[in-house]
Amino acid sequence: MVNLTTEPVQRLYVEQDMESPDLLRLNRGQAMTHCRNCPGKTEPNDDSAAVVQTASGAILLMIADGVGGCPHGHQASAIAVQTVTKNVLAAAMTGLRAAILDGIEQANQAILDLGIGAATTLAVVEVQDQVARGYQVGDSTSLILGQRGTIKWKSTSHSPVGYAIEAGMLTEADAMHHEQRHVVSNLVGSRNMHIEIGPAQPLATRDTIIVGSDGLFDNVKIEEVIEHGRCGKLATRMKRLDELATERMNLNQPGEPGKPDDLSVIIYKPT
């Protein structure tokens, strides 16, 4: 599906098992989203995603990965993207950063109020006046890439393994095989939740933003995400990433990472 809009938009993807990606043509960019279930899984997709455009033309890209080991992960991830979306659209022309932060905090309280131990990660990237900024809770990952594959910004995973990578104690390749790679130390739905805010990053016309759940980043190496996701038609980029992640999930490549999981990816390019 392709939509062109100059109006406020909220496209939510909750409990989705999509046969093909969804493309949105926005005021100053294009966003393609793909969400699907873990191979062989019959329960709802624990991932939720959203692409939002406000009345002022700001764009938000969001992915939440409900914690599968906790009850109702799909419900927690849906609350996260729905609450932030509602807050951001209500903020209208002003207060975008405050609306995002308030939305995350409200989602955290709403999930705690469920009283069932549900929790979710949340990765948000805002794009406003061709400047991007990320907000992070947990280990879903956001990347801002230059045309030639330069990493302009990458979110830090809130996990023992993620912090070890950031400190230079562990390589990305070793992390994908680490026994604690699934441990997450910061979640929406936790009384100790904290929000990491990234720096303002100016976007060039041929830059790319990729936001993904660990269904992508636990199966596809960062250099492979860059190689397949940095250029070409968005549909071609998404197809390559989806196929490689699926192949790894099905454990068809001995010696390579392989973790069956729900998969959600948003690829955005400015225009």
Q: Which whole-number Å values give the CA distances from 65 to 14, 104, 190, in the listed order? A: 11, 14, 14
Higher pLDDT, 55 or 191: 191
Distance CA(82)–CA(104), nearest Å, equals 10
How many domains does the chain divide into? Answer: 1
pLDDT in tens, 104-152: 999 999 999 999 999 999 999 999 999 999 999 999 999 999 989 999 9
* Global confidence as pTM: 0.90
Taking the alpha carbons of 54, 149, 234, 257 in that order, is the dihedral positive or negative? Answer: negative
pLDDT of residue 225: 96
Residues forming beta bridges with residue 201, ordered by sequence position: 132
The CATH number linked to 74 is 3.60.40.10
- In the numeric block, the tokens 């991932």 are attached to 47
Cite the beta strand spans of 6-130 per DSSP E.
Answer: 9-14, 22-26, 29-36, 47-53, 59-65, 122-128
Asked whether residue 172 carries a pLDDT value surpassing 70, the answer given is: no
The yes-or-no verdict on residue 160 having pLDDT over 90 is no
Share of the chain above pLDDT 90, in %: 72
> Which residues constitute the domain of residue 114?
2-270
- Residue 21 three-state SS: coil
Nearest to 64 by CA among 121, 139, 149, 141: 121
Structure token pair of residue 199: 């720096």
Does residue 6 have a pLDDT over 80? no
